[in-house]
């Protein structure tokens, strides 16, 4: 039996590309609500360094999954999926259009691909030992446990590397093999923002300057005093760069340049992820591709067409895809 699938709109793109502005304008236009897909904006108190929407922006359109846990609390993609699906369901019940917005590719893909993850409780002693190691050391360990998964994981994401190693060791099976893609549950329009390299770098530098002017140093100092450097959430661009400065080893100017450089490097990894498999955000070649936009009018036109389109797709299973 054919079943009409609920529609959702995804807006993705690298850091500082203008996702928030575009999403708010479009959500207001099409009676929508925003479900955040940002792995750092879920944390309370981490405001300036994660470039959270302003109070005015949050009031303009209802937002979900921002400021929901403390930095020292455990949070992972499986928890995110449950919360995001609940927020989408409640948004639909109110007669609104869900806009899934963010730059965390794995969070987006777990919804668009309906990916499930192994439920494996963390082992404190194992995690404590792994946290002492560098990203390079962790990747080397993970390669031995899961060669295929190691090709796809974000090698700079320490928290994700630790979790992948943890699951592989506890279960005795490669983490990559344990991620499963379920049946399609949404009709999805995926809009991506892609800017010229120089324009994106210009925006990043401008954003970092603004963060410093508005109190990033004070925010970082407060968080580190309260939660410590070992808290995984603090090991985030915008915060981790202050370590040597607080030890009087580098200048504030050097901190600023490090944050800019690390953010630029991060956006390159984001775009590599989004552009993988021909730009597909929801899987392989036969699946829906990202439609790249850089202007509001084009995005508005695509959404109008999408919402008018009759959808009677059956729930079909698709091949397993490994999110990075």
How many folded domains does the chain comprise?
1
Residue 134 lies in a domain: no
Domain extent for 70: 7-117+179-196+265-308
Assess if residue 313 is contained within a domain: no
Kindly report the average pLDDT of the chain as a whole number. 88
Residue 13 has pLDDT above 70, yes or no: yes
C-beta neighbour count of 154 within 10 angstroms: 19
- Domain assignment present for residue 287? The answer is yes
> Mean pLDDT, to the nearest integer, of 107-119?
88
Q: Tally the residues of the chain.
A: 324
- Is 141 part of a structural domain of the chain? no
Residue 278 predicted with pLDDT over 90: no
CATH of the domain at 95: 3.40.50.300
Categorize the per-residue pLDDT at 16 as very low, low, confident or very high, splitting at 50, 70 and 90: very high
| Mean pLDDT, residues 198-220 taken together | 97
Average pLDDT on 258-286 reads 75
List pLDDT tens digits, range 126-150: 988 888 888 889 999 999 999 888 8
- Can you tell me the mean pLDDT for 110-121? 86
pLDDT score, position 279:
47
246 is a domain residue: no
Q: What is the pLDDT of residue 85?
A: 97
Q: Give yes or no for residue 100 having a pLDDT over 70.
A: yes
Do the Cβ atoms of 246 and 221 come closer than 8 Å? yes
**pLDDT at res. 281:** 47
For residue 93, tell me if it sits in a domain. Answer: yes
Q: Is the residue at 163 inside a domain?
A: no
Q: How far is CA 241 from CA 38, 133, 260, 280, in A?
A: 20, 18, 10, 33
pLDDT at 2: 57
Determine, yes or no, domain membership for 24: yes
Buried b (16+ CB within 10 A) or exposed e, 274-296: beeeeebbbbeeebbebebbbee
Calpha distance 19→7 (Å, rounded): 20
Q: Are 228 and 255 in contact (CB under 8 A)?
A: no
Percentage above 70 pLDDT, the chain: 91
Q: Contact, 12 vs 267, CB < 8 A?
A: no
Q: Which residue has the higher pLDDT, 311 or 173?
A: 173
Instruction: Give the mean pLDDT of 265-276.
Output: 88
**Distance in angstroms (rounded) separating the CA atoms of residues 127 and 125:** 5
Query: For residue 314, what pLDDT is reported?
Result: 43
Work out the pLDDT band at 311, boundaries 50, 70, 90. low
What is the Cα–Cα distance from 95 to 78, expressed in whole angstroms?
26
Q: Which of 33-47, 152-166, 228-242 has the lowest mean pLDDT?
A: 152-166
User: 323: pLDDT confidence band, cut at 50, 70 and 90?
Assistant: very low
| Average pLDDT score over residue span 231-235 | 89
pLDDT single digits (tens) 38-97: 999 999 999 999 999 999 999 999 999 999 999 999 888 889 999 999 999 999 999 999
The residue-averaged pLDDT of 199-225 equals 97
Q: Which residues contact 231 (CB under 8 A, 6 or more apart)?
A: 71, 72
């Amino acid at each position: 039996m054919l079943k009409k699938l609920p529609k959702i709109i995804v807006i993705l793109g690298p850091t500082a590309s203008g996702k928030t502005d575009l999403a708010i304008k479009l959500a207001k236009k099409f009676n929508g609500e925003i479900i955040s897909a940002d792995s750092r904006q879920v944390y309370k108190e981490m405001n300036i360094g994660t470039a959270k929407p302003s109070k005015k922006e949050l009031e303009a359109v209802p937002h979900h999954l921002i400021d929901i846990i403390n930095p020292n609390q455990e949070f992972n993609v499986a928890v995110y999926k449950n919360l995001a699906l609940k927020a989408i369901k409640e948004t639909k019940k109110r007669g609104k259009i869900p806009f899934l917005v963010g730059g965390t590719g794995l969070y987006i893909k777990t919804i668009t691909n309906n990916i499930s993850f192994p439920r494996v409780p963390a082992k404190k002693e194992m995690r404590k030992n792994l946290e002492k190691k560098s990203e390079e050391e962790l990747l080397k360990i993970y390669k031995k446990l899961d060669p295929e998964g190691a090709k796809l994981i974000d090698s700079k994401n320490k928290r994700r590397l630790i979790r992948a190693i943890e699951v592989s060791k506890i279960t005795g099976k490669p983490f990559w093999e344990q991620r499963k893609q379920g049946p399609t549950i949404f009709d999805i329009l995926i809009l991506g923002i892609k800017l010229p390299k120089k324009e994106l770098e210009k925006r990043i530098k401008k954003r970092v300057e603004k963060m410093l002017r508005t109190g990033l140093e004070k925010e970082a100092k407060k968080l580190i005093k309260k939660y410590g450097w070992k808290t995984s959430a603090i090991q985030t661009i915008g915060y981790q760069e202050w370590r040597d400065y607080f030890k009087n080893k580098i200048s504030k100017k050097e901190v600023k340049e490090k944050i800019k450089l690390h953010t630029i490097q991060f956006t390159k990894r984001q775009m590599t992820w989004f552009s993988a498999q021909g730009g597909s955000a929801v899987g392989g070649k036969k699946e829906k591709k990202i439609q790249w936009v850089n202007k509001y009018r084009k995005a508005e036109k695509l959404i109008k067409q999408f919402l008018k389109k009759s959808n009677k797709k059956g729930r079909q299973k698709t091949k397993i895809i490994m999110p990075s």
